[in-house]
């Protein structure tokens, strides 16, 4: 699995509109995706609708410089030209310190059928989920995490309160899904320990599994295992060290200011 591609230029507030006319330099509640869009022909109707959601467009230092549809942000032709957006990844552990994994639905447009961490998505360009300073951005991604845990897994906000999420760090990575779609994100890593009730939304998630560290390592050893690139990157870098300190010493890893470039 390759996570390499060519980014041809650095995108900033001065050149964003010249490079990407479809970007809105303010934040908007939705971007229309035409139903006749040839690039989305043949995909699931609900997943096409979700391509209208608004992602927060960034410069390389995680400063918001506009907004664009999920579709625009995930086309490789735009990613290769430097378009970058904000994302988050939730790692939810139960009281046994087992990690809840999900396997993405076949209907997903990017990275279908792959195992990944509990929930991965994007804060939207809407009040409450944006932020220019790190503190407000972290609060925004925590709110987005609550929203998507409910949408994907029917985990209600009461079981995952905002103050129980721990922000660790941000990773900047690029990964193609196929020739047309991919990811280029500054991904906020959130840990939460909670015993929750969950029931997967089948249009988003086809399977879930709680795993120990040893069980997860065995999954990666399986010949036919398929994992999202961001999850693999996190597992190959810091996940197990963080996991080892889940109950004792995690605070030393929290609120990292620097962005990890992967």
Q: What angle do CA 215, 219, 223 make, to 5 degrees?
A: 150
Q: How many C-beta atoms lie closer than 10 Å to residue 186's C-beta?
A: 24
Cβ proximity of 5 and 77 under 8 Å: no
Residue 120 annotated among the catalytic residues of the structure: yes
DSSP 198-240: ----TTTEEEEEEE-HHHHHHHHHSTT--B-HHHHHHHHHTHH
Cβ proximity of 72 and 184 under 8 Å: no
> How many angstroms separate the CA atoms of 59 and 94, rounded?
36
Fill in the DSSP letter of residue 191.
E
Q: Among 53, 183, 185, 204, which one carries the catalytic annotation?
A: 185
Q: Among 55, 73, 119, 120, which one carries the catalytic annotation?
A: 120
Q: Hey, CA dihedral for 36, 37, 43, 49, is it positive or negative?
A: negative
What does the chain come to in residues? 262
Cβ proximity of 5 and 176 under 8 Å: yes
Residue 185 annotated among the catalytic residues of the structure: yes
* Positions marked catalytic: 120, 185
């Amino acid at each position: 699995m390759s996570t390499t591609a060519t980014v041809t230029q650095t995108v900033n507030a001065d050149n964003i509109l010249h490079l990407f006319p479809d970007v809105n330099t303010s934040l908007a509640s939705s971007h229309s995706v035409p139903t006749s869009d040839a690039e989305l022909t043949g995909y699931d109707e609900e997943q096409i609708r979700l391509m209208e959601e608004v992602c927060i467009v960034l410069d390389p230092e995680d400063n918001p410089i506009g907004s664009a549809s999920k579709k625009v942000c995930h086309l490789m032709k735009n990613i290769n030209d430097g378009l970058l957006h904000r994302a988050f990844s939730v790692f939810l552990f139960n009281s046994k310190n087992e990690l809840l994994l999900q396997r993405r639905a076949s209907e997903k447009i990017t990275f279908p059928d792959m195992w990944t961490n509990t929930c991965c998505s994007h804060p939207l360009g809407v009040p409450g989920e944006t932020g220019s300073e790190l503190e407000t951005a972290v609060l925004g991604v925590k709110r987005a995490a609550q929203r998507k845990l409910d949408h994907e897994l029917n985990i209600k906000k009461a079981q995952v309160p905002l103050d129980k999420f721990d922000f660790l760090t941000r990773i900047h990575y690029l990964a193609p899904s196929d020739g047309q779609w991919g990811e280029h994100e500054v991904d906020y890593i959130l840990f939460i320990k909670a015993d929750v009730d969950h029931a997967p939304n089948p249009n988003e998630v086809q399977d879930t599994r709680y795993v120990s560290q040893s069980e997860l390592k065995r999954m990666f050893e399986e010949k036919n295992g398929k994992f999202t690139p961001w999850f693999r990157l996190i597992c190959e870098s810091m996940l197990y060290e963080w996991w080892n300190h889940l109950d004792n010493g995690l605070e030393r890893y929290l609120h990292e200011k620097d962005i990890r470039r992967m």
